[in-house]
Chain A
Amino acid sequence: MIGQLIDGPLWYFSLAVFGVGMLYRLYSILRAGVKPDLATPRAGGGAGALRNLFSRFAPRRDVATRGRLTLIAGYLFHLGLFALLFFAQPHVDFLAERITGFGWPALPYWAFIISAELALVGLLLLWLHRLLHPVTRLLSSVDDHIGTGLVFLVMLSGCLALAQAFEPLRLLHLFLAELLLIYFPFSSLMHTFTFVFSRGYTGAMMGRKGVNA
Chain B
Amino acid sequence: MSHDFAKGVAALESQIDSRIAAYFSSCVHCGLCAEACLFYTETQDPRYTPIYKLEPMRRLWKEQHTFWGKFAIKLGLSKPLSEQDFADWEELVYDSCTLCGRCSMVCPVGNDITYMIRKEREGFAAAGYTPPGLQEATHRALTIGSPMGVTLKTLQAALRHVERNTGLKIPMDRQGADYMALFSSMEVVNFPEYIESVARIFDAARLSWTISSQAFEATNSGIQIGSREAAREIVGRVVDAAESLGVKYVISPECGHAYTAIRWEGPNLIGRPYKFEIIHILELLDQLQQEGRLKLSGLTETPLTFHDPCQIVRRGGVIEPPRDLLGKVASGFVEMADHGEMNWCCGGGGGVSANERAEGLRLKVFDRKRKQLEALGVKTLVTACANCRIVLEEGIEDRDMDVAVIGLTELVAEHLATTPATASDGSGAES
Contact = CB atoms under 8 A, between A and B. Distances in A.
Interface of A: 25, 28-35, 37-40, 42, 52-53, 56, 59-63, 66-67, 70-71, 74, 130, 133-141, 143-144, 186-188, 190-191, 194-195, 197-203, 205-206, 209-213
A32 B317 contact: no
Nearest to B313: A211
Nearest to B271: A38
> What 3 A-B pairs have minimum CB-CB distances, sorted nearest first?
A199-B110, A210-B317, A197-B22
Given A190-B26, A201-B112, 13 more contacts: A25-B25, A32-B18, A40-B273, A42-B317, A139-B29, A194-B22, A194-B25, A195-B109, A198-B26, A199-B110, A200-B110, A206-B112, A211-B314
Interface of B: 16-23, 25-32, 34-36, 40-41, 44, 46-47, 49, 51-52, 65-68, 104-112, 115, 263-268, 271-274, 277, 314-317, 319, 338, 341-342
Contacts of B23: 198, 201
B51 A33 contact: no
Given A205-B115, A211-B319, A35 B268 contact: yes
Main SS at interface, chain A: helix
Contacts of A213: 104-105, 110
| Prevailing SS type, chain B contact patch | helix
Contacts of B105: 60, 213
A211 B102 CA distance: 12
A194 B110 CA distance: 10
A100 B340 CA distance: 48
A34 B21 CA distance: 10
A24 B46 CA distance: 34
Given A140-B29, A195-B26, A198-B26, A66 B35 contact: yes
A134 B115 CA distance: 25
B67 A186 contact: yes
Given A62-B35, A194-B25, A34 B273 contact: no
Nearest to B114: A202
Contacts of B28: 144, 188, 191
Contact of B341 (A29, A135, A194, A212): A212
